[in-house]
């Protein structure tokens, strides 16, 4: 069994690869468990050095996901599953429309067509986003059947991706499923161009002893989910039988709605005697305008019924980050 993870050298891609290596098996196109004998991480940028826990255990290919021939070459066998994580993120999509279209739409179509070209129906798990929702009529709490009216280019491309996953699955080309994600915390490393980057930064930077510039007001609420449960959710969604999902393959992942102030309070509870960097509130109208288009609560009853995991609070998420990235 071969697993391809696009956007694979990113944080979630690496964590997912580790989880799959630990499992050793996932369901193949036949619906039966199969041993994983190859994991390929595909990304636009090569990692700067060996990937801890993955060195020598995975294959890494770098290139442009909009290169159709290259994407097809990655999917060179029929016993294959795909986790499609590659994407231009929200803030980046607003800054560069053409890049978002090239990567998110052209790249996504390449992945689906390459999977379609294989014999059988490969399972394709697509990383979507709560940003598919928006607009003046958006309710406070969005569910799997809430009308989508995205207010960012990023959200629009994710909504299109969900529709394509549904239709390619309906036609029998693939066995697809879309993971509609809340904001993922805590991402290690440097801030990225995602408008939600501050949700990780407000934990990560203080723990590194650095100042966090918070671009939104502390009372700003957001649905979030810890990275451990994001990864576990991807795996469990992959394993759900097609007949259970039915015609609508997009699933709101479980989430926890917290304000930035509540996140900071959780950080301080967990940090204990650790020296924390300062948090400076400096609202950025551009970021605030994007965040204001997103829902603040997600109805995840369907995901919970399918056995997808959820966090119980901010504290365990911060504890996991410290354990995995600061105390290792």
Query: What residue ranges in the chain does DSSP mark as E strands?
Result: 2-6, 25-27, 33-35, 38-43, 59-62, 80-84, 123-129, 141-142, 175-181, 183-185, 212-214, 221-226, 250-252, 256-259, 279-281, 297-298
255 in helix, strand or coil? Answer: coil
Any idea which residues carry the catalytic annotation? Answer: 154
Residue with tokens 């999977």: 115
C-alpha triplet 148, 221, 267: angle, nearest 5°: 135
Instruction: State how far the Cα of 107 lies from the Cα of 162, in Å rounded to an integer.
Output: 14
**Tokens in use for 260?**
């930035």
Asked if the peptide bond before residue 186 counts as cis, ω within 30 degrees of 0, the response is yes
Q: Which residues contact 319 (CB under 8 A, 6 or more apart)?
A: 270
Using the structure block, give the residue that is written with the tokens 């986003």: 129
Which residues does residue 35 pair with via DSSP β-bridges, in sequence order?
Answer: 25
Residues 63-97: b if buried by 16+ CB within 10 A, e if exposed: eebbeeebbbebbeeebbbbbbbbbbbbbbbbeee
Q: Are 217 and 285 in contact (CB under 8 A)?
A: no
């Amino acid at each position: 069994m071969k697993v391809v993870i696009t956007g694979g050298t990113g944080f979630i891609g690496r964590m997912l690869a580790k989880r799959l290596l630990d499992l050793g098996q996932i369901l193949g196109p036949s619906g039966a468990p199969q041993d994983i004998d190859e994991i390929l991480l595909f990304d636009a940028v090569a990692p700067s050095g060996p990937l801890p826990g993955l060195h020598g255990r995975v294959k890494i290919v770098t290139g442009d996901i909009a290169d159709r021939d290259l994407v097809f070459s990655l999917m060179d066998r029929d016993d294959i599953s795909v986790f499609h994580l590659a994407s231009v993120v929200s803030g980046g999509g607003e800054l560069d429309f053409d890049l978002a279209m090239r990567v998110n739409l052209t790249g996504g179509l390449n992945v689906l067509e390459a999977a379609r070209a294989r014999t059988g129906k490969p399972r394709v798990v697509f990383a979507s986003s709560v940003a598919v929702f928006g607009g003046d009529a958006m309710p406070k709490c969005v569910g799997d059947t809430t009308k989508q009216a995205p207010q960012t280019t990023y959200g629009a491309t994710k909504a299109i991706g969900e529709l394509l996953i549904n239709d390619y699955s309906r036609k029998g080309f693939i066995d697809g499923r879309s993971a509609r994600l809340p904001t993922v915390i805590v991402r290690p490393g440097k801030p990225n161009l995602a408008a939600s980057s501050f949700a990780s930064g407000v934990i990560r930077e203080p723990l590194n002893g650095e100042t966090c510039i918070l671009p939104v007001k502390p009372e700003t609420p957001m649905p979030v989910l810890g990275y451990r449960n994001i990864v576990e959710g991807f795996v469990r969604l992959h394993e759900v039988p097609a007949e259970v999902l039915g015609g609508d393959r997009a699933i709101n992942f479980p989430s926890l709605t917290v304000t930035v102030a509540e996140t900071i309070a959780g950080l301080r509870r967990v940090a204990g005697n650790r020296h924390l960097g300062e948090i400076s509130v400096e609202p950025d109208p551009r970021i605030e305008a994007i965040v204001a288009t997103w829902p603040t609560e997600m109805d995840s009853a369907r995901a919970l019924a399918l056995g997808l995991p959820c966090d119980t609070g901010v504290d365990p998420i911060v504890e996991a980050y410290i354990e995995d990235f600061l105390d290792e």
